[in-house]
Amino acid sequence: MGDIHDLVLKHGRQGAMQLVPDEDRRLVDIAAKVLEEENSALGITYSGFCLTALPHRRLPDEQHWERRGQRITLVVEPGRLPDGKGSTKLYGVPYGSRARLILLYLQTQAIRSKSPEVELGRSMKAWMERMGASIGGKAYQDIREQANRISACHLTFMWDGERKSAFSKDSIVKDGIQLWDGLDDRQQRLWVETVKLSDSFFKALKEHPVPIWEPAIKAIATQSMAIDIYVWLSYRLHVLGRATPITWAAVHGQFGAGYRAVRQFKPRFIECLKTALAVYPDARVDVTDAGLVLHPSAPPVPERELALLR
């Protein structure tokens, strides 16, 4: 995939556009933006989210989510929050790109501040806007819905070979993320509240943080599968000691929820893989008939930024 970046460097954005098939022109545009980016800011995610992920589409509210990744299984169970009328409301499992953006923000700020308490103030508003997530109109309602789902759900990460899960049937945040229904001046309250990550989730995050490049997420912020592939590659590639093959069956098992057969899944995955590689210039990944071959690659963020995690 480095060929796209090489073309942009050699011929410029417009020149590279003329040298690729029509369907790859969007990749040239993404690659050019990434190569022009001077922002070295990093984000943080928990390693468990690099090996398995939330659903891409909405599930029935009462349905739980279970996904198997390499050496790990994620179970997400729907939960209830007070409805303000003396009862409770069931919220289904969080899903899609906005749920991923909210989680990335919470995890990044917790590690940066070295505290489970995260401000939902101007910093969150600015970050969401940098990611292209408007906070007005329907976009606000979508963010509110995913925030409620994140608040209500319970997670279990089960690592193979470990008697005790990293955390089991615990929430991501304590007491919920309080967002208003309306779009009047009360909405501003969203940006002055704080939220606290649960003790077990914060502990797991501190022990297993994975750095990602914020501008890369911005470039693919509306594409949930591309985000999942990018964070997976960010976790795996720079620690490899040799070329590592991954079968299509294994790739389908991790990323193919919603696709019954590998042959149905492959075209969509390859499309999203190309997008993820467009924002990770140093990634070295080959696509073969048997699956993927991952090669040792430089990390997605500069070494100086990794000092934050030490």
Q: Two tokens at 237? A: 């590639």
If you average pLDDT over residues 114-129, what whole number do you get? 76
What is the phi/psi pair of residue 248, to 5°?
Answer: -65, -35
What is the phi/psi pair of residue 136, to 5°?
Answer: -110, 160
* Residue 14 in domain: yes
* Residue 240 in domain: no
Chain segment 24-48, per-residue pLDDT in tens: 999 999 999 999 987 778 899 999 9
- Note whether 32 and 50 are same-domain residues: no
Long-range CB contacts (< 8 A, 24+ apart) of 297-300?
297/233, 297/237, 297/238, 297/240, 298/238, 299/211, 299/234, 299/237, 299/238, 300/211, 300/212, 300/213, 300/216, 300/230, 300/233, 300/234, 300/238
* Residue 161 in domain: yes
pLDDT, the chain, mean: 85
- Note whether 136 and 170 are same-domain residues: yes
Give residue 303's pLDDT band: very low, low, confident or very high (50, 70, 90).
low
- Note whether 101 and 193 are same-domain residues: yes
pLDDT at 61: 96
- Residue 54 scores a pLDDT above 70: yes
- Note whether 193 and 55 are same-domain residues: yes
- Note whether 78 and 13 are same-domain residues: no
- The answer to whether the CB of 150 falls within 8 A of the CB of 103 is yes
Chain segment 228-244, per-residue pLDDT in tens: 999 999 999 999 999 99
Chain segment 248-292, per-residue pLDDT in tens: 999 998 999 888 899 999 999 999 999 999 999 999 999 999 999
- Residue 184 scores a pLDDT above 50: no
Chain segment 82-93, per-residue pLDDT in tens: 877 888 999 999
* Residue 164 in domain: yes
pTM equals: 0.88
Structural domain total, the chain? 2
Which range marks the domain in which residue 154 is found?
45-207
